[in-house]
Structure 1
């Protein structure tokens, strides 16, 4: 008969492992908050001012051009906020996640710190920051400006969940690609430059010619932006929105990223 540890001992070991992992993640979260926001002039304040400045600038430009109404509704600030803020959730969170290994490379030399710990800590700090910024900006616009919008919370939450999940998947895959191939960061930055225009942030995809629309809907951010806006503008229900497609892209990219990181993380850290 083979001897095996008692069940209580196994449970105790599992609890110790989970507690140690949680401590590591919390330590990484505190480090992320301190180094990313605590040492900059303005810190978290700049995270709020950045989207406000972008929304104000776009509103001023299109008002100056003589446009009386935005793509949806009557208020330029609300229109751009409902597109720009979920877009920022994806862009900012995925870019931070892509730098997880380079950011925590020295700490990953310790046995207790794993690649997954670094990914989880960096993801949640930046995601919660972006969601808080989005809430504050949208709430301010809704309370202090005449937007003519009525909130449908379910659509808004789904839109931001789609953005968050997509950021996790794409960011994880890019974490591997940027760590393994130095040139990928430059390629990705070039690909990202026209992304705002191609995601329906400035111009509603529904207003584009049908042959353009057929190509634009392959961009998962188009679905994210449209779903978020449908939670503010009654009667706006774009039939091309597919949460399943966005979650599918996030799942495929996330699984590929995790598999490649699991296989090659030692080579990356030793390089």
Structure 2
């Protein structure tokens, strides 16, 4: 009767508290791979640089340099590799986020939306930092780089991340049911994108039969559109921005419905041996 009633928080306050929670979980995700945050970021830059070097060597050995877009060859490789890494890392981070039955979910403010958002943002931060460092290093010490439309190029970079996170959400929703199988499927998709992303193919120069192998992949569209924004003399004719956007939105809807269904049956006893 004489109990003091606390005022209900407003929606604006709840929204800011949610954003603050996502920020703290994002920082946690950035730090949990390595005890030293700086060392972890440096290792991520080194990993991205190694992948870039491997693809440059592959282009040289396979004789694919001749089909590259006219301009800086290293920038052409970067335009494919960075978007591929961003897409793949976002997918892996989201699909591997804290599950509904994980210990982190036992804390009251924590929920799957926060876990997924934080994992995706941490991945975007890492890949953006790595790409920026490598581009700055190459521009300063090796050769100056010129981007036809930097804003559009960054937009395709973010869209690659967004589509990867959206596909990862489907794996995240299915993972509690069969963690091993879903983990294998996510790995297969990521490895298949080494070729299926079409980063070693210029869409305008590819035959219709060859393009049909890649057109289903949203990453193929973002890479080709990104090259259109990067190079002055390249204009994509067979890819679009609409497809990866609609594909990502459809994957998010499927993932959210799957997550809602999974959360109704999630239990701490899943995965326990009797």
- Scaled by the length of structure 1, the TM-score of the pair is 0.85
Matches within 5 A, 1:93-108: 93-102=90-99, 105-108=102-105
Moved more, 57-66 or 159-168: 57-66
Aligned to 1:152: 149
Please report how far the alpha carbon of residue 181 of structure 1 lies from its aligned counterpart in structure 2 after TM superposition: 2.2
Mapped to 2, the partners of 1:121 and 1:191 lie a distance apart of 22
**In 2 relative to 1, CA 73–101 (structure 1 residues): closer, same or farther, beyond 3 Å?**
same
Residue 256 of structure 2 corresponds to which residue in structure 1?
A: 258
Alignment of 1:63-142 (within 5 A): 63-64=60-61, 69=66, 71-102=68-99, 105-142=102-139
From the superposition, tell whether residues 121 and 164 of structure 1 become closer, same or farther in structure 2 (CA, over 3 Å): same
Shift of 1:260: 1.6
In the alignment, which residue of structure 2 is the partner of 1:189? 187
Q: In the TM superposition, what is the alpha-carbon distance from 1:143 to its structure 2 partner?
A: 3.6
Would the aligned equivalents of 2:67 and 2:202 in 1 still touch at CA under 8 Å? no
Specify the alignment match of 1:56 in structure 2. Answer: 53
Alignment partner, residue 17 of structure 1: 14
CA RMSD of aligned residues (A): 2.7
Query: 1:146: Cα distance to partner?
Result: 3.5
Give the number of aligned pairs: 263
Q: 1:72-128: per-residue Cα shift (whole Å, max 9, x none)?
A: 135432221110001111100111111113498101022221111111111111111
Structure with the larger helix share:
1
Structure-2 separation of matches of 1:228 and 1:200: 13
User: Could you state the TM-score of these two structures normalised by the residue count of structure 2?
Assistant: 0.84
- Structure 1, residues 45-71: CA drift from partner, whole Å, max 9, x if none? 011111211222222343356666461
Q: Which runs of 5+ in 2 are unaligned?
A: 1-6
Tell me what 2:25 maps to.
Answer: 28
CA distance 1:151–1:135, shift in 2 (3 Å): farther
Partner residue, 1:164: 161
Q: Distance in 1 between matches of 2:187 and 2:40?
A: 24
